[in-house]
Amino acid sequence: MRRFLLPALMVLALLVGGVLHGMWSDRWVPESKARIAAAGARITAFPRDLGDWKGVNNDWPELNTENSIEKILTRRYTNRLNGNSVGMLLACGNPRNLSLFHTPLECYPAQGYTLVASEKHSFRVGPSTLEFMVSDFKRAQGALAEYVRVFWSWSGSGDWHVPEQPRLAFGLYRVLYKLYVARTLLNPEEPVDDEDPCVEFLRELVPEVERSVLRDE
């Protein structure tokens, strides 16, 4: 029996590897590109205004090319009641697109910022618990300094979280979504709590994203 065990294990490994590669390469799901394109269209049509938050587009045409089915939407939102202002980035694409896994921990230092603190936070929005990484950055501006706080997370099924190994956690989803919400800190010691303007905005933003973007996931 032992002489048949090794060949059998080799055949099993080949079969499992072939199935996993087929799932990773979308061989078994030919409609994957159509799903990503549909998700991109929903992001493009995402409402510009959310309650008291008024949005202004700040798109990156160089990233949203005609040949790309993936989509990135960037906006600046300002609350008409209290004047709070935040930036938003909402993106979708295939989990194999490594750019979806680029995080503020890479992007901001490339722009001259230094990481001050980065920690996971969870908070409630309706019946859902959202998990976001919250990263604070500092950049020298002459004798002064600019401080920026970024909330960031991913979703493959409607639940927003930041796993330790995101490429493994999201690898088998057909569409992956990435969300950033950022603002300038007036005081670098500001706590991360329910009064944070980013949290205030996310409570308005996430339910609308679930309704109008993630509805087919």
- The pLDDT tens digits of the residues spanning 82-96 come to 999 999 999 999 988
Whose structure tokens read 């919400």?
181
User: Residues 203, 123: one domain?
Assistant: yes
Four-CA torsion 73, 171, 203, 206, nearest 10 degrees:
50
User: Residues 12, 56: one domain?
Assistant: no
| Ordered alpha helix ranges (H), the chain | 2-24, 32-44, 104-110, 166-170, 197-212
- Per the structure, the complete domain to which residue 49 belongs is given by 31-212
How many structural domains does the chain have?
2
In the chain, helix, strand, coil percent, each to 5?
Answer: 30, 35, 35
User: Residues 13, 104: one domain?
Assistant: no
- The pLDDT tens digits of the residues spanning 111-129 come to 999 999 999 999 988 778 8
Is residue 8 domain-resident? yes
Chain centre distance of CA 192: 19
User: Residues 4, 84: one domain?
Assistant: no
Cβ 155 vs Cβ 139: under 8 Å:
no
Mean pLDDT of all residues belonging to the chain: 84
The pLDDT of residue 11: 42
Higher-confidence position of 45 and 32: 45
The pLDDT of residue 125: 84
Cα separation of the two ends of the chain = 47
Is residue 217 domain-resident? no
User: Residues 43, 139: one domain?
Assistant: yes
Rounded Cα distance between 137 and 146, Å, is 8
- The pLDDT tens digits of the residues spanning 48-77 come to 999 999 999 986 655 555 555 678 999 999
